[in-house]
Amino acid sequence: MSSEHRDDGVKSERTEDNKDVLRTPEGEELDLSIVGTMKLETGKHSPIRNPNRLQSVKYAIAGLLYVLVREQSIKLASILTVIVIIVGLWLEIPTFYWAFLTLSLGMIWITECLNTAIEAVIDLASPDPHPMAKIGKDVASAAALMSSIVFVIIVVLTLLPRIIDRIRDMAG
C-alpha cells in the first residue's frame, strides 16, 4: 500500500488493487472514488436518526425561530423582505420579476441560515482559535455576503427603474 498527500492535505492511500482510499483513525477505509460517498452507511456513523418527517419539520421551524431571534443578519433580512414585498406590490411588478426577487431573497435567507449552522458546528468542534476554523467561518460569511450582493444587484435591476418611473409619473 502506498501513501500520498493530496492537494487538500489529506493523506490518502492506494491499496493493492489500486483503489484510492482514506483510512480513518479507527482503521476504516473510505473509498475516495466518485461513487465512494454514496456507498457510506450513515446509520453506523450517526447515532441520531429521525425517520419522522413531521418531526423534521418541527426541527426546521425551531432552527428558523433560533435565527430569527438570535441572528442580527436575519433580522435585517426580515426587514428587507418586508420592504421588497411592499415596494413590489406598490409597483405592481410582473410575475417574472417576483420570481427573481423571491429567488434572491431566498438565497439570502438560506445562506444566512447555513452560515449560522456552519459557525455553530465550528464553535463546537474547535472552541479554541484555529486557522482552519477561521477559514471555515470566513468562507461561510463570504457566501452570505455574496448572496447579499446578488440581491442588491437584482433589486437595482428590477425595482429601481420602476421606482424612478413611478416617481416621475407622480411628479409630472
Residues 134, 87 within the same domain: yes
Would you give per-residue pLDDT tens digits along the chain (172 residues)?
455 555 555 555 555 555 688 888 888 888 888 888 888 777 776 766 677 778 889 989 999 999 999 999 999 999 999 999 999 999 999 999 999 999 999 999 999 999 999 999 999 999 899 999 999 999 999 999 999 999 999 999 999 999 999 999 999 7
- The predicted model scores a pTM of 0.75
Residues 75, 17 within the same domain: no
Residues 67, 32 within the same domain: no
Q: Which range of residues forms the domain containing residue 9?
A: 2-44
Number of domains in the chain: 2
Residues 149, 73 within the same domain: yes
Residues 31, 60 within the same domain: no
Nearest in space to 106 (alpha carbons), one of 64, 140, 52, 137: 64
Residues 72, 94 within the same domain: yes
Residues 63, 97 within the same domain: yes
Q: Where are the alpha helices (DSSP H) in 35-94?
A: 53-70, 72-91
